Structure 1
Amino acid sequence: MLKSIFKDIKSSGGKAYIVGGYVRDKILNVESKDVDIEVYGITPQELKNILQNYGRFRLVGKSYPIYLLEDYEFSFPHKTEVGVKGEHYKVDPKMTIEEACARRDLTINSMLYDPLKDEIIDIYGGQEDIKKGILRYISPESFQADPLRILRVAQFKARFDFQVDEETEQLCEKLIPTLEKIAKERIFIEIEKIMLKAKYPSIAFRWMKKIGILSSYFSEIDDLSQIEQGEKYHPEGDVFEHTMLSLNVLSISERDIILMLAILYHDIGKAYVKRIKKVDRVHFYGHENEGAKRVGFFLTKITDNKEIISQVRALIKYHMRPLDLKNNLSKKAVRKLVNQVDIPRLLKLHKADTLGRKVTTDISYIDDILKVYNHVKDEVEPIIKGRHLIELGVKPGKKMGKILKEIYDAQLNGEFSNLEEGLEYSNYILKKIIFDDL
């Protein structure tokens, strides 16, 4: 279908190329699901007339038109113009491929692929830089047009383990102060790609520390390098080093962004609690609660998603709990925890935390905890609900909510495990309340 569309564009006097990441990944032999196509020489209306012959497509993009058809994304080369209302984009189908490619961030992302000729067009040496493993800007003018590109460099460095060209690195360092002007949603996307696409996310954070991005924008992470830990239990060194090792533990298939942000910030509280030094270790009592208290503020620099912040906070708050379960594992203990935090995620966080040290450790107890969780998870939904209390004569309102909570806590504590026992327990609680009121 795609070749047919390309032929129709050519018949209309235009030219189309697959661009960007797909071409880069093709050379790297990396699977790529995103197929971006850039169209030259025809108008948006002419493209619409062609695409409508191939099924339903939709138009997205406020700044400039992007047409989505199945897994394909069609767009046009565009110019950035500055007017009284600020910057805006203007479609320019007559732009040459040299001009269009020069506007991209890095040489490795500047190549075009013509599927009709099975030909890669490489104007700025992207293939050679891939061969050498180098990240290099095309021109300083185009690169600094979007300061977010310094995080893209970090992302690609981590994903491909490439070296950053010296001049490119110097320009990135120069652009760090302008990061504050970038919308947090765009910053979040780059952090997410680092976390979920790089085998070793720490590569990006170490580079960001090296050139000063962390000290400028994520100082709470940068400062972790000043917090030493006891050598016996943390021979890897300071908290920053431990955090970096922890980020690399989980396979890509095990990760999601909530979990990875929790790993990044899991020990942030160690900077804010009193350190108690003993002969062979340093204790950070209460660091999990302190970290949970503060992480929301840090995360608002990259997201306003309350659900993400809430779940990261819960993971940090309870990240030491699996150690308690290791020594005191019971259905009751797991039931009480289920309502507080996502346990499968918590156990992955614990795995990363435990293995993020240069110590050989047996973590088989994590599977034991998971087995108990899988056994009790279906028991966790409240057995007694509002309709049951109404049938027992309780009127809806705040008082009912308090009663339901007390009954649910009893369920988690193992006082009852089925509806019959739950109704019996509810009657007991209601009689007790009436007696207390008298």
Structure 2
Amino acid sequence: MIALPYPLMQLVEHLSHHGIRSIFVGGFVRDHFSGHTTHDLDIELYGVTSLESLETLLKPFGKVGLYGKSFGVIKLTYEGYSIDFSPPRTESKSGFGHKGFETTWFSDMGFTAAARRRDFTINAIGYDPLTQTFLDPYGGIADLKARTLRCVDPETFVDDPLRILRAVQFAARFELSCDNTLLALCREMIAEGAFTELPKERIFEEFKKLFLLSAHPSIGLKLLEKMGGRHLFEPLSDEAWNRAQERIDTIAEHRYKTDILALGQMFAAVLIECTDPVKVLEHLTDQRNVIKTTIQIINYAKHSGDFILPPEPLVQGRDLIALGLTPSEEFKSILEKAYSAQLNQVFFTHEEALAWLVTQL
């Protein structure tokens, strides 16, 4: 069972009193088996008659917002949790790309039918907090124990090309082996041009998860190669690709705390031997700060001769606090600017860095 805190049980019981059954789904349930916790929750609601009545039931608990009208998704901020509520639904392919779906939600659909639309079995596990039981129609719990990544339904999996890269980052994050059926599906999808259906920023978001959330990102890169998707990083020779996989796991042990710097590290680890890293990056993202940071780290590493670990930032958050700044979102941009200056050799020591920092505040 999953021991839910009292505020969540109070919410579940309130909905149950009004004839609505709450089933926890997604990452909250999956991560329970690996000992992780999250405050971002997804709850499927069975017995909802209208979104308006659901909003009325949820309003006493906190700020409510309808943000996915076509999906019937309502977000509630409650007791430190960010909760997405949605009725069970089906999805059918209706157009091009990962957004080309028609969605229909039902008040009386069963969990097995609702879970069929999900990508992987490990994401198709539900939990009923009132009966304290897991709902696992597709064997996701067994797959987690066997460390296997398997799709729920091969027929529906191929409808969404983004699922290929979700497989890559999930395999790395949870250190899972991709089963043969899923691997064959992804190979076929890539061969048929699946990546051309995806906006580059969606591709980038999956690599972001791979690079920032995996202890061993090389697992994902190896799987991408098996799927026939290594061309996303061309031009990169076989030897350079193999060395990149070795470097990236070392870098992952020393990731910086801010996303931009960490992403710069990880992309630099892969692309440092690439003949045109800017071209590769511009095919993956429009985020100029990521591209700029990656290229700066590559140039610094080549200049210093250290192709593994870029230098530790001379300016840290504690330096900003010592200067009287209050921790905030602005910290990230200041630290990124300082690191950029360091890579450009504006300063070389901690004392010089502090002197430069004072001139920037």
Name the TM-score class by shorter chain. Answer: 0.7 to 0.9
In 1: Cα distance, 2:359 partner to 2:208 partner:
38
TM-score (norm 1): 0.64
Q: 2:262 aligns with which of 259, 263, 268?
A: 259
* Contact in 1 for aligned 2:122/2:140 (Cα 8 Å): yes
Matches within 5 A, 1:17-36: 17-36=23-42
TM-score (norm 2): 0.77
Question: Kindly tell me: are residues 311 and 251 of structure 1, through their superposed partners in 2, closer, same or farther at Cα, counting changes over 3 Å?
Answer: same
How many residues are aligned here?
A: 313
* Contact in 2 for aligned 1:243/1:264 (Cα 8 Å): no
- 1:320 match: secondary structure: helix
Query: What is aligned with 2:279?
Result: 297
Amino acid at match of 1:224: S
- 1:318 match: secondary structure: helix
- What is the CA-CA distance between 1:251 and the residue it aligns to? 2.7
1:66 has 2:79 as partner: no
1:219 has 2:234 as partner: yes
Deviation digits for residues 132-159 of structure 1, max 9, x if unmatched?
1111111111211212111111111111
Matches within 5 A, 1:420-435: none
Question: Kindly tell me: are residues 189 and 345 of structure 1, through their superposed partners in 2, closer, same or farther at Cα, counting changes over 3 Å?
Answer: same
- What is the CA-CA distance between 1:60 and the residue it aligns to? 1.9
Query: What is aligned with 2:300?
Result: 318
Query: What is aligned with 1:136?
Result: 150
- What is the CA-CA distance between 1:218 and the residue it aligns to? 2.9
Kindly indicate which of the two structures has a greater share of residues assigned to helix.
1
Query: What is aligned with 2:351?
Result: 375
In 1: Cα distance, 2:194 partner to 2:168 partner:
16
1:153 has 2:164 as partner: no
- What is the CA-CA distance between 1:125 and the residue it aligns to? 0.8
In 1: Cα distance, 2:152 partner to 2:134 partner:
18
Amino acid at match of 2:64: F
Q: 1:181 aligns with which of 179, 197, 202?
A: 197
Deviation digits for residues 102-123 of structure 1, max 9, x if unmatched?
1111111100011222221111
In 2: Cα distance, 1:92 partner to 1:380 partner:
60
In 1: Cα distance, 2:118 partner to 2:209 partner:
19
- 2:127 match: secondary structure: strand
Matches within 5 A, 1:71-150: 71-80=82-91, 87-150=101-164
- What is the CA-CA distance between 1:267 and the residue it aligns to? 6.7
Q: Which runs of 5+ in 2 are unaligned?
A: 1-6, 307-333
In 2: Cα distance, 1:150 partner to 1:202 partner:
16
In 1: Cα distance, 2:353 partner to 2:148 partner:
49
- 2:237 match: secondary structure: helix
Task: Give the number of the structure with larger relative contact order, counting CA–CA contacts within 8 Å between residues 6 or more apart.
Answer: 2
Query: What is aligned with 2:17?
Result: 11
Larger Rg: 1
In 2: Cα distance, 1:269 partner to 1:377 partner:
26
- What is the CA-CA distance between 1:346 and the residue it aligns to? 9.6
* Contact in 2 for aligned 1:196/1:252 (Cα 8 Å): no
* Contact in 2 for aligned 1:17/1:115 (Cα 8 Å): yes
* Contact in 1 for aligned 2:118/2:124 (Cα 8 Å): yes
In 2: Cα distance, 1:78 partner to 1:110 partner:
13
Amino acid at match of 1:14: I
- 1:380 match: secondary structure: helix
Deviation digits for residues 179-206 of structure 1, max 9, x if unmatched?
2101222222211111111100011001
Query: What is aligned with 2:178?
Result: 164
1:203 has 2:219 as partner: yes
Deviation digits for residues 328-361 of structure 1, max 9, x if unmatched?
xxxxxxxxxxx9x8665899x9xxxxxxxxxxxx
- 1:57 match: secondary structure: strand
* Contact in 1 for aligned 2:148/2:177 (Cα 8 Å): yes
Query: What is aligned with 1:44?
Result: 51
